[in-house]
Amino acid sequence: MEAFIEDRVNQWLSGNYDNETKSKILELKEKDKDLLFDSFYTDLTFGTGGMRGKMGVGPNRMNKYTIGAATQGLSNYLKKVFPNKSLSAAIAYDSRINSNLFAQITANIFTANGIKVFLFENLRPTPELSFAIRELKCDTGVVITASHNPKEYNGYKVYWNDGSQIVSPHDQKIIEEIQAIKAVEQIHFNGNEQLVNRVGSEIDEAYWNMLDNLVYLPNDFPSKKNLKVVYTPIHGAGIMLMGEALKRQGFENVLLVEEQSKPNGNFPTVNYPNPEEKEALTLALKKATDANADIVLANDPDADRVGVAARDSQGELHLINGNEMVSLVFHYILSQRRKQNKGTSNDFIVKTIVTTDLINRIADHFNVNCYDTLTGFKHIANLIREKEGVENYVVGGEESYGLLIGDKIRDKDGISAAVLISEMAAQAKSEGKTLVDKLMDIYIQFGFYMEKTTSIYREGKKGAEEIAEIMEKFRKASPNSFNGEKVITQIDYLNLEKKSIGSEIEKISFPKSNVLQFITDKNTKVSIRPSGTEPKIKYYISANDSLDSKDKFQETKKSLEQKITAITEKLGI
């Protein structure tokens, strides 16, 4: 064992940590030195979604003390930013193991520092936490969740007073405050219950009322009542809001996947509680098949994402991926705003740099500004904040099944997204169409865009080093072509440089991020980035072609699939 690790372990064993923690450390020291090493070799840090990691003992794990240091550091920072102010914080948590415990620890530390707390009485979706911060006019907020990660994980997301996840400079300054905590004695664990306010139904009610401003069809629109919806919260917090949200918008025929309706941090019916994965929707798809349902809706455990399946022209259920979903939603919203004269000359929409460029084509058609941001809804929220009062935000989205409709919330919201997607399906049904038919219409009008995302997992310190080596390799030896298409532009978001053939290197205006993009002369795009929340590197491939008619769909689809497969092989993934 490296001396550095030995020293860190001994600090925990000799420090003012509880006996249960020390016993677990001693057990690891005796039985699993590799796990001990991974638990102590580094500290959990804030990525695109805050602090997230496996639960266990040590500074590289989610536990009482890492949660404690984060909350104490945040408290110290708040007092510096808002001196002489009566501070308040909202706290929510999902169904994960220890989420309730971690939320209570967070509340204790805030109140021990004199900060008033609004703590949800029961689990709630992450977007409701963002909404509550704005509704209650809090200075900060924390939600305990690891989103769609496996059951061994938990997380700690920090929000600012506008309801958005923290961005620069706050994120780095909070980290500095956390790193300044050198001893567990600096963490104030003994809370003041008098400063804790339990909230729940009143915020739910305000949230449900807010949804009225995000939809375009009346509650009595005939197809809403007749649309048959299957919904699963995948053992998560979506169960707290979704049923009532759909009911209030006129959807009466909603079937719940009972086997996944009860909150359970072990996620017993799935391998991985991620609505991006077909396996997680197995039970919902079966129920939809048996009931001949029109659509399937599935939230991840904290309900900030939504997965969707809909019938195709042959009546078969088709899984709609994230890029297809955002294309449908953006097109629907902009179409309805034009049809109902709700659009303004300063409307804008937002997508991330790895989300389909089909969105740009749709935005051009409706003469609406479309901005790109880095991955993570904190960047979309930051753009909303920057343009507030100057331009009118309409909708933002990303390929990983996230949507933010309207600006009352400042994080992705799988509840409001599911309500709007249900409305889209009802509107399509009124025309004798499905969401898949609508997607086909978009492809014929704007071009057939196909995307594939591949994730390569690399755990622990060695894995992090391998991922760093992969990124360095692509920076030093950039590909010249993909599948016979010449790479004409390379964008490096870490060095903030754009290199195009025949042009001088341009500086780009973005926050720094470890992302590389390669664009060919046929507008094929390859993006590579390490995940900010999971131990993996992600490859995004986007290819496109024109689609003249529905009859040409299968032929064009096959051609694009072959192109993407060839690029995948060239990348060695």
What is the per-residue pLDDT across 48-87, written as a single tens digit (0 to 9) for each?
557 999 999 999 999 999 999 999 999 999 999 999 999 9
Say whether both 34 and 46 belong to one domain.
no
The Cα–Cα gap between 275 and 300 comes to: 6
Local structure of residue 166 (DSSP, 8 states): P
Say whether both 231 and 358 belong to one domain.
yes
Given 199, 232, 249, the domain boundary residue is 199
The Cα–Cα gap between 57 and 78 comes to: 27
Residue 345 has pLDDT above 80, yes or no: yes
Say whether both 318 and 398 belong to one domain.
yes
User: Which pLDDT value is given to residue 314?
Assistant: 87
Q: Which among 400, 430, 362 is positioned nearest to 218, based on CA atoms?
A: 430
User: Which pLDDT value is given to residue 111?
Assistant: 98
Per-residue pLDDT averaged across 293-303, rounded?
A: 98
The CATH number of residue 105's host domain is 3.40.120.10
The Cα–Cα gap between 336 and 549 comes to: 24
Q: Which among 178, 188, 183, 189 is positioned nearest to 43, based on CA atoms?
A: 178
Its domain, for residue 63, covers 42-199
User: What is the set of active-site residues?
Assistant: 147
User: Which pLDDT value is given to residue 358?
Assistant: 98
Given 446, 461, 483, the domain boundary residue is 446
User: Quick one: 465 exposed, middle or buried, by C-beta within 10 A (0-12, 13-18, 19+)?
Assistant: exposed
The Cα–Cα gap between 302 and 237 comes to: 5
Average pLDDT of every residue of the chain = 96
Say whether both 184 and 214 belong to one domain.
no
Reported as a pLDDT band with limits 50, 70 and 90, residue 45 is confident
The Cα–Cα gap between 320 and 70 comes to: 37
Say whether both 493 and 510 belong to one domain.
yes
| pLDDT-wise least confident of 33-47, 257-271, 296-310, 399-413 | 33-47
Say whether both 318 and 239 belong to one domain.
yes
Say whether both 66 and 9 belong to one domain.
no
Reported as a pLDDT band with limits 50, 70 and 90, residue 2 is confident
Say whether both 360 and 218 belong to one domain.
yes
Percentage of the residues of the chain whose pLDDT score is greater than 90:
92
Write down how long the chain is. Answer: 573
User: Per the structure, how many domains does the chain have?
Assistant: 4
Say whether both 161 and 109 belong to one domain.
yes
DSSP letters of 23-69?
HHHHHHHHH-HHHHHHHHSS---EETTEEEEEBSSSTTSBSHHHHHH
At 96-143, the pLDDT tens digits run: 999 999 999 999 999 999 999 999 999 999 999 999 999 999 999 999
User: Which pLDDT value is given to residue 47?
Assistant: 58
User: Which pLDDT value is given to residue 531?
Assistant: 87
User: Phi then psi for 397, rounded to 5 degrees?
Assistant: -160, 165
- At 559 the three-state DSSP class reads helix
User: Which pLDDT value is given to residue 213?
Assistant: 96
Say whether both 51 and 157 belong to one domain.
yes
Say whether both 280 and 386 belong to one domain.
yes
Q: Give the containing element (helix H, strand E) for 561.
A: helix 553-571
User: Which pLDDT value is given to residue 313?
Assistant: 82
Residue 460 has pLDDT above 70, yes or no: yes
Say whether both 46 and 36 belong to one domain.
no
* 489 vs 44: which has the higher pLDDT: 489
Given 147, 177, 199, the domain boundary residue is 199
